Structure 1
Amino acid sequence: MDYGISGLSLIPVRKEPSEKSEMVTQVLFGEHFEIFEEMVGWCHVRLAWDGYEGWIDSKMITPVNVRTINKLEKRPYAVTGDIISLIPVNDEQNLVLVAGSTLPVWRPYLKEFSVDKDTYKSEGEVYYGVQKNPREVVIKQALKYFNAPYLWGGRSPFGIDCSGFTQIIYKMIGMRIPRDAGEQVKMGVALSFVDETEPGDLAFFDDEEGNIVHVGIIWQRNKIIHASGKVRIDNVDQFGIFNVDLKRYTHKMRVMKKIIGTNETD
């Protein structure tokens, strides 16, 4: 089995091996993956963070060996918290990292990380492992994405979808949740009333067929942070999300879930 890691800010993962194919998700800097099929110019990969599969342009892949992968898997994940981080490469070049990027082989006392044989310094905000104040971190980081545009398959402040948003925010507190809302809803403990929720809990919404089609983060009582057109704050109650601009309900409530504090950690 071959392995790779993202040495770029973002790598699009596509449904089929074509630039014209739908983007299903993104690999952020420092995230690694298995390569289990290759064809001319493309690799079929499985992402280590969430098991998502798709096709990546082979030119975007930094190969790594299994020994490096084993080392990465044994360490707590270090995740960037700044919306944008500039990491010096030399006097003329920087790595540009988006929030939620992984800093492999992070050495907190030196503020250094390594990709293959290269070592870099990061002076910005970094979350290392499971956080002691997870709800505070979730809200602090979620609010940083305010007005970020919606992008199907996106996981960055430059474009993000609803479940990519919740996944990345939870990654910052050291919790691994699935990529899609339909899988995220299977985690945690169900809550009966909005009044039972705490900041950082998740709310899920369905369509007329009962399919989970949306997810957001509870902020304050009756307020939700979610990606719909853009990352925005709206009102939420037992019926669903009430869009403060449109003055109407836009999403129908299915269930609220408490994941933080239920031992569903990485």
Structure 2
Amino acid sequence: MNYGISSLSLIPVRKDPSEKSEMVTQVLFGEHFEIKEEMVGWSYVNLAYDGYEGWIDSKMITPLPLRSLKKLENRPFAVSGDIINVIPVNEEQTLMLVAGSTLPVWRPYLKEFSVGKDTYKTSGEVFYGKLKNPREVLIRQALKYFNAPYLWGGRSPFGIDCSGFTQIIYKMAGVKIPRDAGEQVKLGRALSFVDEAQPGDLAFFDDEEGNIVHVGIIWKRNKIIHASGKVRIDNVDQFGIFNIDLKRYTHKMRVMKKIINADGTD
């Protein structure tokens, strides 16, 4: 088996092996993947973080030897928390990390991480190990994305979709959830009433056929942070999301889920 890792800020993952094909998700810096198939200029990959699959431009892949893969998997997980973190590589070059990027082989005492033979230092915020206050981190990080543009398949502050937003925010809080809202809704415990929701709980919304089509993060009483046109804050109740600009309901409530328990576990 062949493996790769992203040493770029982000790599688009496409439905078909073409630059014109729909982007289905993105690989952020430090996330690795298995290369399942190769053709001229393109590689079909399975992402280790969430199992998502698609095609990426082979030129964007940094090879990951099996020995390095095992080293990655045996080290604690670290995630960049700054919306943008510009890291010096040398006198002429910098590396730009977006929030939610993985910092492989993290050495907290040195504030260093490594990809292959390259080692980088960061003075930015890093989430590492088991967090004592995951809900606080969820909300604080979610609010940093306010006004980030909506982008289908996006997972970065430069463009993000609704489930990419919830996944990345939960990643920074140390909780792994699937990529798509239709899979995220299968997690956690359903809440009977909106008043039961706590900051950081997820709310899911469906269409006329009952398909889950949207997800957002509960902020505080009757407020939701979600990506719809942009990352925004709207009112939410048992009927759905009431868009404060349009002054009408835009999404129909299906269910609210508690993914993180009161003690911070998931």
Q: Normalized against structure 1, the TM-score is what? A: 0.98
In the alignment, residue 47 of structure 2 is paired with which amino acid?
A: L
Spell out, residue by residue over 1:33-82, the C-alpha distance to the aligned partner (whole angstroms, 9 max, x if none): 00010000000000000000000000000001111111111222111110
In structure 1, the residue matched to 2:200 is 200
Runs of 4+ residues over 3 Å off in structure 1:
262-265
Give the match's secondary structure for 1:79: strand
Residues 100, 171 of structure 1: 8 Å contact kept? yes
Residues 224, 234 of structure 1: 8 Å contact kept? yes
Spell out, residue by residue over 1:101-152, the C-alpha distance to the aligned partner (whole angstroms, 9 max, x if none): 0110000010000000111101100001231100000000000000000000
In structure 1, the residue matched to 2:60 is 60
| Whole-angstrom CA distance in 2 between matches of 1:241 and 1:19 | 35
CA RMSD in angstroms, aligned pairs only:
1.0
Q: How far is the alpha carbon of 1:91 from its aligned partner?
A: 1.1
In structure 1, the residue matched to 2:19 is 19
Residues 81, 141 of structure 1: 8 Å contact kept? yes
Spell out, residue by residue over 1:83-110, the C-alpha distance to the aligned partner (whole angstroms, 9 max, x if none): 1001110011100110100110000010
Give the match's secondary structure for 1:138: helix
Spell out, residue by residue over 1:147-174, the C-alpha distance to the aligned partner (whole angstroms, 9 max, x if none): 0000000000000000000000000011
More deviation in 68-77 or 5-14? 68-77
| Whole-angstrom CA distance in 2 between matches of 1:168 and 1:264 | 18
In structure 2, the residue matched to 1:98 is 98
In the alignment, residue 185 of structure 1 is paired with which amino acid?
A: V
In structure 2, the residue matched to 1:251 is 251
Residues 129, 173 of structure 1: 8 Å contact kept? no
Give the match's secondary structure for 2:147: coil
Residues 187, 264 of structure 1: 8 Å contact kept? no
Give the match's secondary structure for 2:132: coil
Give the match's secondary structure for 1:101: coil
- Structure 1: runs of 5+ lacking an equivalent: none
| Whole-angstrom CA distance in 2 between matches of 1:201 and 1:190 | 10
Q: Percent identity?
A: 83
In the alignment, residue 184 of structure 2 is paired with which amino acid?
A: Q
In structure 2, the residue matched to 1:153 is 153
More deviation in 164-173 or 63-72? 63-72
| Whole-angstrom CA distance in 2 between matches of 1:242 and 1:74 | 45
| Whole-angstrom CA distance in 1 between matches of 2:71 and 2:258 | 32
In structure 2, the residue matched to 1:41 is 41
- The aligned runs of 1:23-172 (5 Å cut-off) are 23-172=23-172
Residues 37, 43 of structure 1: 8 Å contact kept? yes
| Whole-angstrom CA distance in 1 between matches of 2:83 and 2:156 | 9
| Whole-angstrom CA distance in 2 between matches of 1:253 and 1:107 | 43
More deviation in 72-81 or 224-233? 72-81
| Whole-angstrom CA distance in 1 between matches of 2:180 and 2:244 | 26
Give the match's secondary structure for 1:132: coil
Residues 81, 125 of structure 1: 8 Å contact kept? yes
Number of matched pairs = 265
